[in-house]
Structure 1
Amino acid sequence: MRVNQLKSCLLALGVSTVLTLTGCADMQVGGGKNPVGGSAGGATSTGAAKTLEHCDHPLGTMAVEENTGDPWYAVLTGQYHLPSTVPLIRLMVQQSNCFVVVDRGQAMNSMMGERNLAASGQLRGTSNMGGGQMVAADYVMTPSIQFSQNTGGGGAALAGVGGGYGAIIGAIAGSMKSSEASTTMMLTDTRSGVQVAASQGSAKNIDFGMGGLLGQFGSGGGALGAYSQTPEGKVIAAAFLDSFNQMVKSVREYAPQRVAGGLGAGGQLGVDGASNPNAAGAASSYSLSDAQRKLTDLGLYTSKVDGLPGPGTSRALSTFQKANGLPVTGQLDAATASALQAR
């Protein structure tokens, strides 16, 4: 039997045996389409993953910025030799049509260079390059990755099977590892600095490090050695896809978090020795008359605006509280006053 034929037979036997013994016969190994691919142009796209969430209309503009100083970035680029996650995520976001992507990376430096040329009078007068044209980023998305690799055993158990074949099967089993990536995405409002959404996603695959094994049979091991790194990229892309889908599902039903007295005004957790007017009487600055007028505008109150408590006022307050997920008390408490002022 020729070397190539022997190689194919041994690999087929070894991989088949390992998959059977580990119960992973239905899992994809190695190849396959990248979970994130294709293209996007405006609101249209081609080749997007079928599982990618899609929005009928964008929810705002978004910039994607990764912290290149975080440890995960060093693993991504150093150990796995993979590039920045920003292009991958930006493609996915635009394909989803859930946000309009604005550039805050290297392309922005080039844009500012063009504006500097315009300001210095170097561009033609018809260039239409001036101030007030750039679009603000309503939100900033910050991605991160958590890696996990659990090397599987099983080589020793198979080493005695079939003589020389068993040794090769054992080598394959010993090189099998479970590759998993967990990703997080944070979405921050650029005007207030408030985190409006956060999500976590994960993906897992099985990888076989067969480069060393094939080296026993001569050339050909190098290609599979490089191929053994490919699943990491696919697992990361799939994890980000999962994470983004989770975020989209949440922001579709977005409801702002409310704090009595307003955000950043002191909060409700009193600190010993500190004065916090919001912790007690936040409703004092918002009168019952104010509440009655607002409830009238909302169609919930039909009686006279007199600033006096009564059954009609209580019913209107209870209806408003129930509709806004507040404790139904029928009273103008601090949380209800804050919610009414926000409407």
Structure 2
Amino acid sequence: KGTNTMATATSLILGESAQQRQAISSILRPTGLFEGNLEASSQREALHRIKNQEVAAVFYAADHPAKSEFRWLRLFQKQSDLSDIPVFLFTGEDDEQTRILGLNSGADDCLTFNMSSGEAAARIRRHLLVKQNLLALRRAKDELARQAMTDPLTGLGNRRLFLQALEAEISRMNRTGEKFSLLMLDLDHFKKVNDSFGHQAGDAVLLALSEILRGGLRKSDTLCRLGGEEFSVIMPGANLVDAARVAQRIRGKVACVSIPSWPTLRVTISIGIRCVKHAHPAETIIAEADQALYRAKCLGRNRVEVFSENFLRNTTRPAAEALNLLAAAGNA
């Protein structure tokens, strides 16, 4: 009896007759590789079960040495969410033609009805380990990809994720015509925080800001730390008024934030907004949001500024004035 490396896994046995399914089950049971076995009498039923329950392996009793017998297997192997599941073909010991057709159609291995459970276990276990290794590699790859898109301090998306998300939002707007808003946020005098209180205090401020941003945004918004004390928010479907209200709320909460280990530490934030209604290159949108942020810095910090196509090119207005103008024009 082999080691129970997959003892909590479930297999699926596919065979037209109960006798075939029982014969396969009698070989699998002593291997100890599977906690349970599902059964299916038709290919359609088998695919339905696999789609609705996690299956570690499929065991198929082929009846006829014909290409049509294995059409389902070719379709099975082409589905990315199923292609990692090993499929074992059960045939008679002398049925070479069926084994060749099955292997050419994508079966991972061929077993016979008179095979011992020990040999079956050894052959099955090898394929299950290959599957486990593939899943482990895929998870590692996914984790590396996630880390490549994540800021290690705050856990927010990083600049790479921001640029990808912005391009995706521009593409979505081109398809649907729905506007979106971009917020660029920058903590005021952050260097003084690090110089006066130390980098641990600076990190605490960044983490506090991250929590404020997470709590004040929708699930559909994309929040990123671009580097240092600069953050961004992409807000799908948000018009200028929506974006300005969110920005002002964030600004107010940041101004009131208290860091327990540094009770005298106070910070503020400046925010620039670009509401996008028509297709523009990503670099243009970023530059115009940065321009609004720069104006907020120049006008005293701890404020929100807006760049809008409703106004003169390369001109910004204070957020309150922008909202009044939009309301008067009927665009609110």
**TM-score range for the pair, normalised by the shorter chain length:** under 0.3
Could you tell me the TM-score, scaled by structure 2's length? 0.24
Could you tell me the TM-score, scaled by structure 1's length? 0.24
Higher relative contact order (Cα pairs below 8 Å, separated by 6+ residues): 1
Between structures 1 and 2, the one with greater helix share: 2
